Structure 1
Amino acid sequence: MNPARTLIVDLPGPDLTPEQGRFLARHSFGGVCLFARNITAPERTARLVADIRSALGHDALVATDQEGGAVLRRLDVPHPPTPQALGRLGDTEAAREAGRVAARGLIELGINWNYAPSLDVNVDPLNPVIGERSFGADPRVVAELGVAWAQGSEELGVLSAVKHFPGHGDTRTDSHLALPVVDKSRAELEAVEWRPFRAAVRANLGSIMTAHILYPQIDAGHPATLSPALLHDLLRREWGYGGVIVTDAMDMRAVADRYPDGRGAVLALGAGADAVLVCGHGDLDIHVRHLEAVQRAVQAGELSSGRVVEAVGCLEQAARRFPGRPRAYPAAQQQTDDAWATGIAQRSLHSLGQLPSLDPQGTVVLIAHRQPALGGPYGDSLGGEALAHALRPAFPKLRLALHDGQDLFAVTALLSDCPDAAILLATTERWDVGEAVRQLARHLSGRRVVHLALWNPDVAVDLGLPALITDGFRRAQLRGVVSRLTAMTEAVGVLDRLE
């Protein structure tokens, strides 16, 4: 019985140094979660995964977050579509294929655990952390598509972790920053948030990730990650779930501020979790503190050794089911998947209002944020220069006006210089675009303008301009934008050179 096997840790960079290898081997953790900072060139990342397994043993679980849309860690392979786009289409087989596309890019490197997809029902569209990560606001659709996505992943050898149990879709508090509270009755939760997770249990999906959210009508004393009522009593005993229960990252302030230095790990394992995700963001001492806290709890009888044995056994069973043997991702399959993702992006593209026609040879003013802020789970965003680079092959006379969300001096100056130009107002922010941009939108009303809503679709309603809504800002969505704006079939291939 080794309590360290219940901890999934992170690493500082793209290579496993000899010292870090000895650290992993000495403590014998259960696995490693990779983030964008760890994933570089395919050969280098494959070597990192192999080195992790050499240090921890070949039954180690190597995880990441390859959800599709804005939450991606590996970017050099075809991207799974945004779950929101899949929900808009309502196509179960497309959702299943999205899971396969995600899995192909991971198993090639030996990564055998994907913390995806989100089964959160997007009840509140102003939720700051779910949004386009959800398949939608209808629990039936979320259940059907989310389970299919996870099954597509698992059939290709990558364990899925549906999240965030028992539901993160009806709160405006980001659990990375504070503890959300969802004050709903059991009957309300059964009708909406719990339906997709019940479907996941019936489908025998491999793992479920917990939410750092307090549900006071179910357990007034503990957030779900630390709640015996939710993990043991409901998920295990009542619903009969037999897969892995893994926590969301324990450095998130919803838990870390209240249960520091490994105290949360002890309570999560006692509540029924099998794997505790510990993220130090480069500080390996955090992993040691969590391990020592768990060891002390076992020695003191606060955490039973039987519970640890049960948790480790559950993880070992998952590793046997998903051994993580690398599988080639041939170039021909990648081309097929990339074309498929482009097709999904074009099918899900939709407009609000009457879009004006644009002359590809005329002057077009692009207004865009220089580089939107990140937060929560998001690893990257689309900046204005990158967007302009993507659009210029189709609009060679494109002029770019960048702003920071507040200072729009350069924007107004360029608009004055180009009074007859068509305008593309791009919103690439996940969160509120700000009052300055809203005022600009009101000023642009009546001009030949298209609002490109490239991340948060709800902004299109807010600004009230004719809008083209993409449900994402990746290569496939940008190809779809070019095709629609130019209204020329050959424009679909203009952006094939996008990195």
Structure 2
Amino acid sequence: MSGDLYRLAMTVLHPGFEGTSAPDWLRRALGEGLGGVVLFARNAIDEPLIRQFRAENPGTVVAIDEEGGTVTRLEVMAGSSFPGNRALGVVDDVKLTEQVGRQIGRMLADLDITLDYAPSADVNANPDNPVIGVRSFGPDPELVARHTVAYVNGVQGAGVAACAKHFPGHGDTVTDSHLALPTVHASREVLMERDLPPFRAAIGAGVRSIMSGHLLVPALDPSGPATLSRTVMTELLRGELGFDGMLVTDAIEMRAVAAMFGPGEIAVRALGAGVDAICVGLSTEESLHEIRDAIVAAVRAGVLPEERLAEAAARVRDLSTWYAARSALRDQAHDDVDEGVGLRAARAALTTTGKAALDRGPLVVEVNTRFNKAVDPATPTGITAALASLLPNTARAQMEPEGELPAFDDRPVVLVVHDSARHAWVRDTVARALALRPDLIVVDTGIPAPPQGATHVATHGISRVSALAAAEWLLR
């Protein structure tokens, strides 16, 4: 039995934490070989924080969800400087997508972040999907594949590792895996033709990491979630598709798997299936040690082969080594600043009906569609702020789902909704508002239904630049 078994177990654990500085327990864990750390907006991420990790373990894999659009950890209060995947898919300019990916990579490189849990390579095949939606480049496999490659090339061209997610594809689901276990009912043939091409393309482009999806895919393995399936993680992803990089779980506290097993059991089963890194969205010293001890106990009991654990730890170290070897790329990316690329992309993604020429501050009515749990709750739509920056006396009213509309006066009215294609109640809200004010302007920040009303703007995502692009158009 290897003398460094505990260190191997620590290497494959990648926890998140509370607070804006590295807690003492996390520092100790890094000194004991903890392989990675996952950052969230709650950590108020900056260079001094990451230097604290590096001081304990220079090879720490520092990871973050920085997709652009609705999912941002670095720009959560103001909104992302980059439109999300759906907007980029609407534009369908792979050069532009690569430029956006490069600037996101540059931003992470400046902070010394190793790994971006992006892009979403999911094909949003089901329009009722509650968790992917605008995070996908679109519903067409070929479009998603080419933009996945462009995004990967952009991020990794800046010296930061990219991570294609959520294998084998979260796009054809009607359940949010944060809340329960989704089932993908498609046949193996459909999966091969629709869901897997973007991952195959990402592997061909040299993506350094892939994230598993907590999904039940009976056509591949009816016995349980893909994250815990050797058939899916090893035989399909490693064997058939030829991926040899670091395979990381989606967060193991998500109910799709957490409702079935405890954290230690999930980690052991995922490692046995072929996963290399265990993402724990929020951890404490006690919970981290519980998972570590469960892994060690499984090896000692012969449940998890030590060779499999050693292989997983080696892949984590390989990713760290890859990152260390690309300091020159990061230095180059530091000087390759294109602050306008996000806004250019957002402007290009707008789809509009009718015309508008706001000449005075409107009443902006924001309908509070509930975002999925991948989106930080502090993320703003940004439409009110963008209009207020251009038009004094812009006012804001908020409306709860299926609630009462606010009173309208003689001011122009801008109604901001999200995902009207997915929510009948949103479409009904638009219709009610239009009955009262046929001249109101509708802005949809998600996947839009066919336009209602005389003036309609679709941004195809939530970001600071998407909001600004919409505001500019409304003032033309």
Q: 2:191 & 2:279 partners in 1: Cα distance?
A: 26
Which of 428, 439, 442 is the equivalent residue of 1:451? 442
Which secondary structure does the structure 1 equivalent of 2:111 belong to? Answer: coil
Match 2:372 to one of 371, 375, 399:
375
The aligned runs of 1:199-348 (5 Å cut-off) are 199-280=201-282, 283-323=284-324, 327=330, 334=337, 336-337=338-339, 339-348=340-349
The reply to whether residue 392 of structure 1 matches residue 382 of structure 2 is: no
From 429, 437, 456, the equivalent of 1:467 is 456
1:402 counterpart (378, 398, 402)? 398
2:13 is the alignment partner of 1:7: yes
CA shift at 1:469, angstroms? 0.5
Task: Assess, with a 3 A threshold, how the Cα gap between structure 1 residues 77 and 105 changes in structure 2: closer, same or farther.
Answer: farther
User: 1:78 offset after TM fit, Å?
Assistant: 6.8
C-alpha change, 1:207 and 1:301, in structure 2 (3 Å) is same
After TM superposition, the structure 1 = structure 2 runs for residues 104-183 of structure 1, keeping only pairs within 5 Å, are 104-183=106-185
The 1:203–1:389 alpha-carbon spacing in structure 2 relative to 1, beyond 3 Å, is closer
**Residue matched to 1:37:** 42
SS in 2 for 1:192: helix
SS of residue paired to 1:255? helix
Cα distance in 1, alignment partners of residues 371 and 168 from structure 2: 25
More divergent stretch after superposition (371-380 vs 161-170): 371-380
* One-letter amino acid of the counterpart of residue 357, structure 2: L
Deviations 1:52-99 (A, max 9, x none): 1222x2122000011010001111897332111111111111111121
Give the whole-Å Cα distance in 2 for the aligned partners of 1:428 and 1:101: 27
Task: Answer yes or no: is 1:423 the counterpart of 2:413.
Answer: yes
Q: Which residue of 2 is the match for residue 67 of structure 1? A: 67
Residue 328 (structure 1) shift = 6.4
Picking from 192, 195, 199, the partner of 1:193 is: 195
How far apart in 1 are the matches of 2:98 and 2:434?
42
Taking structure 2 as the reference length, the TM-score comes to 0.91
Letter in 2 for 1:35: F
Once the 2 structures are TM-superposed, how far is the Cα of residue 261 of structure 1 from its aligned partner?
A: 3.1
Letter in 2 for 1:405: P
2: CA distance, partners of 1:480 / 1:277: 35
In structure 2, the residue matched to 1:438 is: 428
AA at the equivalent of 2:222: A
| Partners of 1:112 and 1:433 in 2: CA distance | 38
Identical-residue share of aligned pairs (%): 33
Instruction: Point out where structure 2 has 5 or more consecutive residues left out of the alignment.
Output: none
Q: Secondary structure at the match of 1:164?
A: strand
Determine if contact 2:364/2:413 at 8 Å carries over to the other structure.
Answer: yes
Rounded Cα–Cα distance in structure 2 between residues aligned with 1:164 and 1:93: 24
1:163 is paired with a residue of what secondary structure? Answer: strand
SS in 1 for 2:390: coil
Partners of 2:164 and 2:209 within 8 A in 1: yes
Q: Give 2:359's aligned amino acid.
A: P
1:350-372 CA-partner distances (Å, limit 9, x unpaired)? 11x423x33413x6332123x65
Compare 224-233 and 392-401 and name the one that shifted more: 392-401
**Alignment-mate amino acid for residue 72 of structure 1:** T
Deviations 1:309-353 (A, max 9, x none): 11111111111111285956999855x32x1211111111111x4
SS in 2 for 1:197: helix
- 2:350 matched residue in structure 1: 349
SS of 2:450's partner is helix
* CA distances 1:8-39 after superposition (whole Å, capped 9, x unpaired): 1111111013343124324x221001011113
Aligned-pair RMSD on alpha carbons? 2.5
Corresponding residue of 2:359 = 360
State TM-score, norm by structure 1. Answer: 0.87
Aligned length, in residue pairs = 465
Task: Classify the secondary structure of the residue corresponding to 2:112.
Answer: coil
Is the 8 Å Cα contact of residues 79 and 379 (structure 2) preserved in structure 1?
A: no
Deviation (angstroms), 1:178: 0.3
> What residue is the counterpart of 2:475 in the other structure?
486
Query: Which one-letter code corresponds to 1:63 in the other structure?
Result: A
